[in-house]
């Protein structure tokens, strides 16, 4: 799950399922988890009372381009959101490797059937737009539960966790704006540099990131006629690459600039600026690959955590163990990077950039790329989605 972390209170045998749950973060994983938790079995009055805490005052519809692959698309389908999400995709046709003269050396098109996963998914969308869709879904599910006599979901924006501690059966939290609350479960879904994780695990949280020595800058710019619907990927000496991508609107394109920093010079200059460092999480309950599987892992994490809680209603510890067992294969596959990646595709020299272009051109013209995509594909399709039948339909 996207930075999904669970604070583990002592299990109470008298509680068949959690009655109060705090989800910190209203991005991708948080709202999906809330919607799935509202599908617990039993009458609406017995469903968990969920609180979603978000530090920002509101969501934004922009953000970076993200994709949904493999089991992530299955979960979106389970939530009945596939058609709605596809209406807001960016329409990216594939990726083209270009030079300084905008000459295309190779191109790899998206497989719109969804059967072959290439570098561009058939479901590409701006992160903020996806977050809005998921939040609206959670609000609808909450209202449905409230109309049937349940408590549904409480949303708290522009606030954050200040501290948390647990006793015999509750997790007690102090909010930055001064409020104090107690919950049966606290779930952290608050991003790469999760404050919830730091509060829960202390010094252990410091070692949960594997730095890849890559820096990224993401922004949007006015769209020009020649931008088109293909992702243009340009490489330059010094470990720099620039991607120009469609945003799904006629007004702007999105830009991603990547910079390799094997020497550590930039890292030294930006010491203390954590947000600029792409990384891989390696904490047991907090897994994410920043190379392109984060969204799918967020969806899968929410699904498996909700399902594990349903299957283990009397033991939180057993639910967490089941969650870990279900997520481990997917995370292990998602975190596998080929040798020397991602620096291999970010050459430092002019000669290295030329060799890279020759290589991708050879892969394209020989047809090897198509065979590789069909044979391997992204790891989202490697692990099958475990079935939790109780989540297939809403609780009555």
Q: What is the mean pLDDT of residues 91-119?
A: 83
392: alpha, beta or left, given left = phi > 0 and alpha = psi -120 to 50?
A: alpha
Distance CA 316, CA 16 (A): 10
Say what the pLDDT of residue 37 is. 93
* Structure confidence at residue 391 as a pLDDT band (50, 70, 90): low
pLDDT in tens, 31-89: 999 999 998 878 899 899 999 999 988 887 667 788 888 888 889 988 999 999 989 88
CB contact at 8 A, 181 and 175: yes
Could you say which DSSP state residue 387 is in? Answer: P
> Domain map of the chain by residue range?
5-391
Q: What is the dihedral of CA 283, 287, 290, 295, to 10 degrees?
A: -160
Say what the pLDDT of residue 117 is. 65
Question: DSSP strand E in the chain: where?
Answer: 5-7, 20-24, 49-54, 65-67, 94-98, 104-109, 124-126, 153-157, 161-166, 171-175, 180-183, 185-188, 209-211, 214-222, 231-236, 240-246, 252-260, 279-281
Higher pLDDT, 341 or 293: 341
Say what the pLDDT of residue 371 is. 65
Q: Which CATH superfamily is domain 5-391 in?
A: FAD/NAD(P)-binding domain (3.50.50.60)
The answer to whether residue 384 scores a pLDDT higher than 60 is yes
* Structure confidence at residue 247 as a pLDDT band (50, 70, 90): confident
141: alpha, beta or left, given left = phi > 0 and alpha = psi -120 to 50?
A: alpha
pLDDT in tens, 261-298: 655 555 554 454 343 333 333 333 332 233 356 888 89
Say what the pLDDT of residue 211 is. 75
End-to-end CA distance of the chain: 27
116: alpha, beta or left, given left = phi > 0 and alpha = psi -120 to 50?
A: beta
149: alpha, beta or left, given left = phi > 0 and alpha = psi -120 to 50?
A: left
Higher pLDDT, 354 or 212: 354
Provide the percentage of residues in the chain whose pLDDT is more than 70: 77
pLDDT in tens, 162-203: 988 888 778 999 999 988 999 999 999 887 777 888 888 777
The answer to whether residue 9 scores a pLDDT higher than 50 is no
């Amino acid at each position: 799950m996207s930075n999904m972390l669970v604070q583990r209170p002592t299990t109470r045998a008298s509680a068949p399922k959690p009655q109060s749950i705090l989800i910190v973060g209203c991005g991708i994983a948080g709202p999906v988890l809330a919607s799935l938790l509202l599908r617990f079995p039993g009458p609406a009055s017995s469903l968990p009372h969920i609180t979603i805490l978000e530090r920002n005052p509101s969501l934004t519809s922009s953000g970076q381009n993200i994709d949904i692959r493999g089991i992530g698309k299955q979960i979106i389908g389970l939530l009945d959101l596939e058609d709605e999400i596809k209406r807001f995709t960016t329409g990216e046709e594939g990726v083209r490797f270009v030079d300084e003269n905008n000459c295309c050396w190779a191109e790899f098109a998206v497989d719109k059937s969804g059967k072959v996963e290439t570098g561009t998914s058939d479901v590409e969308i701006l992160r903020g737009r996806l977050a809005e869709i998921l939040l609206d879904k959670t609000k609808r599910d909450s209202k449905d539960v409230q109309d049937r006599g349940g408590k549904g979901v409480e949303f708290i924006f522009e606030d954050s966790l200040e501290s948390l501690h647990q006793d015999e059966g509750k997790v007690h939290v102090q909010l930055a704006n001064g409020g104090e609350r107690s919950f049966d479960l606290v779930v952290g879904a608050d991003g790469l540099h999760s404050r919830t994780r730091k509060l829960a695990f202390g010094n252990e949280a410091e070692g949960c990131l594997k730095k890849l020595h890559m820096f990224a800058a993401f922004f949007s710019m006015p769209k020009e006629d020649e931008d088109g619907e293909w992702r243009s990927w340009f490489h330059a000496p010094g470990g720099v690459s620039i991607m120009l991508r469609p945003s799904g609107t006629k007004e702007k394109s999105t830009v991603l600039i990547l910079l390799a920093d094997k020497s550590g010079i930039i890292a030294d200059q930006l010491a203390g600026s954590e947000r600029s460092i792409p990384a891989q999480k390696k904490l047991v309950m907090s897994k994410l690959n920043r190379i392109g599987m984060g969204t799918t892992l967020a969806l899968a994490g929410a699904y498996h955590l909700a399902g594990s809680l349903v299957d283990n209603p009397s033991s939180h510890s057993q639910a967490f163990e089941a969650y870990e067992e279900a997520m481990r294969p997917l995370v292990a596959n998602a975190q596998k990077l080929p040798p020397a990646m991602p620096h291999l595709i970010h050459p430092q020299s002019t000669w290295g950039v030329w060799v890279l272009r020759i290589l991708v051109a050879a892969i394209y013209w020989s047809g090897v790329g198509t065979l590789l995509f069909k044979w391997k594909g992204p790891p989202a399709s490697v692990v099958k989605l475990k079935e939790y039948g109780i989540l297939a339909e809403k609780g009555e």
